[in-house]
Structure 1
Amino acid sequence: MTMYRILLNPDTIDEGSPADAEMVSISASELEALRAAAASATKISEAKERAAERSLADDRLRAEEIGRWSKKAEDWERAFKAATKEKELATVLASRPLVQGAAPQLIKLWRDELEVIDEAGQFRVATRDGRSVAEAVNAWLASSEYAHFSRPTSRGGTTPPGDSRSTSTATATPPPKNLGEAVLMRWREALQGHRQNPDAPIGLGRRRF
């Protein structure tokens, strides 16, 4: 039977021949078994390293995927809040007397002054200082900075010509008391009509020159 002598600890030998106490004799089958065990341990170690690398790579992929979905969720939330604020502003502004094209401009100007508040799954829009959108819009439109977006209201102005309110109310003529007064009233009305109408035929109320 072939025997082999191997060092118990090769790392302790610097120079010269090792002593017999530092060596051990084993058979060829034992040596092959040791070699097989060492190869198996190496394979196991390499497999563990590859598994660890795959695990790290999977972790990186999962982290990247989570990051992508988190960004999408943030974008969706941002878009939802922006749309909610714009819708609330548009609803309030629709009932206000604004000049043409004012609403879109005011929505752009004021939407960043609002925030969407989540109350147990129910969303409401308010200003950063806690006011409702209607209260804030009324205050903003009443300020000198945004007053020009509102249509001017007529207060005590001149009534347009032709409006029944522009004519002064004349003193009502009392009704005739008898037939003579009725005939006289009709004669006066006819006389007045002829004087105001130059095309009327010559006669009562119009004189030839």
Structure 2
Amino acid sequence: MTMYRILLNPDTTDEGTPVADEMVSISASDLEALRAAAASAKKISEANDRAAERSLANDRLREEEIARWSKKAEDWERAFKTATKEKELATVLASRPLVQGAASQLIKLWRDELEVIDDAGQIRVATRDGRSVSDAVNAWLASSEYAHFSRPSSRGGTTPPGDSRSTATAPAAPPPKNLGEAVLMRWREALQGNRQDPDAPIGLGRRRF
């Protein structure tokens, strides 16, 4: 049977020939078994290292996936809150007498003044100081800063003659029936152009035709 002599601890042996106490005899079959065991242990260690690396890689992928979905959830929540605030403002502004195009502008101006509150599962919208949207809109529109977004209220009354703000128009005069009426109409138009009273007596400030 072939025997081999191997060092017990090669790393601690000084230079030179080792002494007998530092060596041990082992058969060839035992040496092969030791070599096989060492190779197997190395493979197991390498496999464990690869498994650890895969585990770390999987952990990183899971963390990245969680971060990606968390960001999506935040984006969805932000979009939901923005849409909820805009809808609440649009509903309140729909019943207010506003000038054309004012509602969309006011929604953009005021939506950041509101917050969406989850009250025991019930979603509601209020201002940051706790007022309802309706009360806040009334107060904002009554202020001088936003008053120009409201249509002016109609108070009735009459408009003085000749006032350019009057929307009423005088009825059209009937066409002349003959030459005499045509001349008279022309004469009255000329007097009106000169801002004279056609029924005033002929005299100062009135020309003869």
Q: TM-score, normalised by structure 2?
A: 0.74
- How far 1:67 moved relative to its partner? 1.1
Within 5 Å, give how 1:1-209 maps onto structure 2: 1-155=1-155, 158-159=157-158
Distance in structure 2 (CA, Å) of the matches to 1:23 and 1:32: 17
Distance in structure 1 (CA, Å) of the matches to 2:50 and 2:109: 57
Aligned length: 161
Amino acid at match of 1:159: T
Return 5+ residue gaps in structure 1 as ranges: 162-198, 200-209
Amino acid at match of 2:89: L
Counterpart of 1:196 in structure 2 is none
CA offsets, 1:26-76, max 9 Å, x none?
000100010000000000000000000000111111111111111111111
Distance in structure 1 (CA, Å) of the matches to 2:158 and 2:12: 117
Distance in structure 1 (CA, Å) of the matches to 2:3 and 2:159: 129
SS in 2 for 1:118: strand
Counterpart of 1:167 in structure 2 is none
- How far 1:158 moved relative to its partner? 2.6
The share of aligned pairs that are identical, in percent, is 86
Distance in structure 1 (CA, Å) of the matches to 2:35 and 2:93: 86
- How far 1:160 moved relative to its partner? 5.7
Amino acid at match of 2:26: I
- How far 1:153 moved relative to its partner? 1.0
- How far 1:159 moved relative to its partner? 3.3
CA offsets, 1:1-46, max 9 Å, x none?
0000111111101311111101100000100010000000000000
Q: TM-score, normalised by structure 1?
A: 0.74
SS in 1 for 2:32: helix
**Aligned residues: CA RMSD:** 1.4
Distance in structure 1 (CA, Å) of the matches to 2:52 and 2:159: 89
CA offsets, 1:165-203, max 9 Å, x none?
xxxxxxxxxxxxxxxxxxxxxxxxxxxxxxxxxx9xxxx
SS in 2 for 1:18: coil
Amino acid at match of 2:130: G
Q: Which runs of 4+ in 1 moved over 2 A?
A: 157-161
- How far 1:121 moved relative to its partner? 1.7
